[in-house]
Amino acid sequence: MTLRNAYLGSLVADALAMPGHWYYDREALVRDYGILDRYKAPCNPHPDSILWRSTYHPPDPRGDILREQAVYWGLRGIHYHQFLEAGENTLNFRLATDLHEQVRDSGRYDFMRWAERYVARMLQPGWHRDTYLEEYHRGFFTRYAQGKRITKCGISDEHIGGLAQVPALLAALPEGADWRGSVKEHVALTHRHGNVLRAADCLARLLKSVIAGTPLREAIAREAGDWFSCRKAEQWARRRDLEIIGQVISPACYIDQAFPAALYLSWKYHDDFDAGIIANAMVGGDNCHRGAVVGSLLAAANGIDTRWIIGLKCK
């Protein structure tokens, strides 16, 4: 298997989960979409949407990353990804495809070149069609609009969305590159939080280990022991996923819960890519960003059926 599989797996898991992103009422998720075993488009209303209580007011036009989407902020029931099509990726994974392209074409990771491209893309009208932009984007561009140096605009964000671009970066780096250093530098641009940086390094080590031939469960036991207990996982596996991710581990986006939840699903479905990404989608919460972990690890270990690639909008 290859790191390209891991990168594509992350895109597939995100696109599959996208309609059910940030559903915490899992019964509502099933009522709205049935089983997310194929790509589906999102629909309004979203029963758990928090856009009605979300605000963002950029200091000047250099921070205007909402543009035409701003009219939906403050309204109830708005789906975070309401304008995306079936098989389309959410914003953080759109950025991942851009990062992959830049690094692959240049043959190296250049921190400043990526930072400048990130700013340009986020300010480019029509480049993405997501309605909701995560806190780290808003924090970054608030500081950017205030005139801070581009390298100093990142915030101490502790969400798993910080891992979304790790598989893309690893897949694009040339042989012999300082992959751990590049991952740390890249993630720290927007997520200056120790636990996110630690999780990003763990994911990178896991992917490299699996690609080198280590069985996935063995790699998790070896590389992720400070995040995850395989002994507990053996007990949890006897229960439904909705119980474990919901009652034992939170389905929410904070890294201290979201990363172990993603590792658990990767461990449980270690030999079945399809079952793992479907399970991830159906437990709701921040399933899109958990998909960066679940999709990449399971694809690295098992490969991906071409049916998933055919329906994917961003490749």
Domains and CATH numbers, the chain: 3-310 (1.10.4080.10)
What pLDDT was estimated at residue 314? 80
Considering the entire predicted model, what is its pTM?
Answer: 0.97
Q: State how far the Cα of 102 lies from the Cα of 90, in Å rounded to an integer.
A: 19
Contact 43, 32 (CB under 8 A): yes
Exposed, middle or buried, 281 (CB in 10 Å: 0-12/13-18/19+)?
A: buried
Closest CA to 273 of 251, 290, 297: 297
166 CB contacts (<8 Å, ≥6 apart)?
Answer: 183, 186, 187, 200, 203, 204, 207, 292, 296
Per-residue pLDDT of the chain (315 residues; tens, 9 = 90+): 799 999 999 999 999 999 999 999 999 999 999 999 999 999 999 999 999 999 899 999 999 999 999 999 999 999 999 999 999 999 999 999 999 999 999 999 999 999 999 999 999 999 999 999 999 999 999 999 999 999 999 999 999 999 999 999 999 999 999 999 999 999 999 999 999 999 999 999 999 999 999 999 999 999 999 999 999 999 999 999 999 999 999 999 999 999 999 999 999 999 999 999 999 999 999 999 999 999 999 999 999 999 999 999 885
Answer whether 96's CB lies under 8 Å from 11's CB: yes
Angle at 72 (CA atoms; ends 67, 73), nearest 5 degrees: 85
- Cα-Cα end-to-end distance for the chain: 18
Task: Find the radius of gyration of the CA atoms of the chain.
Answer: 18
Amino acid at 247: Q
What pLDDT does 222 receive? 97
- Whose CA is closest to 176, among 108, 102, 114? 108
- Provide the CB-side half-sphere exposure for 218 (13 A, CA): 9
**In the block, residue with structure tokens 């993603």:** 262
